[in-house]
Amino acid sequence: MQKRLNELLITVNHIINKMTTMNMNEYDFTLKFSLPSEMMVDDAILDKLFEAGCDDAMIGVGMPGCLSLDFTRKAKSASAAVFSAIKNVKAAVPGINLIEAAPDLVGLTDMAEILGCTRQNMRKIMLKENMHSLIPVHSGNPSLWHLSSVLKSFIKIEKYNNFSTLQELAATNMTINHVKNLKEISPEVEIEAKKIMTG
């Protein structure tokens, strides 16, 4: 009898887990952090990250004092995925600071790779579809665009309408990066800038 009950419980839990993940999307994103002063990434920190819920991330250490995590996370929304990942990292490493959430800023080569076409085709599509509003946020070599804005225009084209999940993720990362940068702005300058921009 007890064995049968255990089997039923396992079956019910399996069904519940399956129903929970049915409405979830998979999000691939990267979070880059700066470590507290003089802290180095060692096995103890890696263990803490794993225990805090970052077992769905590839962890990389490039520049000294920095930590990069490439996540593949299932969630009901992009914001749920990214926010939970940031919370996991901060819980594991107190004092760590977010540098950047990606994907966000992309060059023309990045856009072409994401959309599966050449740089030349990208330019042709942008001209053909009158995407004059896609002005780069940085003009230079390379010029940079917010991926969210690019995909928002491209998903209107039938061939590219399957990028809505990535657009949602890119929009979330763009917002996070904007909010992060606000911490470095002088309150007085912010007030004057808002007056000019909204006037």
Domain positions in the chain are 23-102, 105-189
Cα(52)–Cα(148) distance, integer angstroms: 29
Q: Fold for domain 23-102?
A: Alpha-Beta Plaits (3.30.70)
8-37: per-residue pLDDT in tens?
555 545 444 444 456 799 999 999 999 988
57-74: per-residue pLDDT in tens?
999 987 888 999 999 999
Give the residue from 15, 181, 164 showing the smallest Cα distance to 77: 164
pLDDT at 48: 95
Is 144:136 a contact under the CB 8 Å cutoff?
A: yes
In sequence order, the β-bridge partners of residue 74 are 26
User: pLDDT confidence of 1, banded at 50, 70, 90?
Assistant: low
159-192: per-residue pLDDT in tens?
888 999 999 999 999 999 999 988 888 888 888 8
104-141: per-residue pLDDT in tens?
999 989 999 999 999 888 888 888 877 777 888 999 88
